[in-house]
Amino acid sequence: MDRPEPKDAGELVLVSIGGSRYALPMSSVDEVGRPPAITRVPGLPAWVTGVANWRGRVLAILDLRSLLGGTGNDLDRRSRLVVLSHAGARVGLLVQTVSGGAVPDTDAVEPVLANLPDSAGQLLIGQVTDAQGPYGVLDLDAVLALAQQLPRARRAG
């Protein structure tokens, strides 16, 4: 499968998901907090953990570990919920840790590795290597496009 050329990443927030490092665009991060109580919704894939009441609103909660090929590390006291707003959608993303920020040079963003599983490679715009090693830059358009895979609600009547 041909992978697109990486885009300019801009200012990033570094997080850990499933034992690996990833980056989210700072412009899409609304806030970071402790994970709330989550209500599981039957019939949804594993990457949709459920929904939660976040500041009086229902928020879909995503856990991308299964898609990114990460380990099944349980969430602990260091775990965080990153609330993202992107392309008119608002979702919560569960992460093991938030470790800081980065502003990579445009030239530093490389194509993702060709040997990544398709489920992971399709969610990344590229990768960057810093002093701590490589991290993947998540493509929020691709993450939100996962909603197309969800079952459609049936109408009563």
The pLDDT score that the predictor gives to residue 2 is: 47
Q: What is the DSSP string of 22-88?
A: EEEEGGGEEEEE-----B--TT--TTEEEEEEETTEEEEEE-THHHHT---PPP-TT-EEEEEEETT
Spans in the chain with pLDDT lower than 70: 1-9, 71-73, 114-115, 117, 152-157
User: What is the domain extent for residue 72?
Assistant: 12-146
The pLDDT of residue 114: 67
CATH number, position 111: 2.40.50.180
In a domain, 125, yes or no: yes
What total of structural domains would you count in the chain?
1
pTM: 0.84
pLDDT of res. 6: 46
How high is the pLDDT of residue 73? Answer: 61
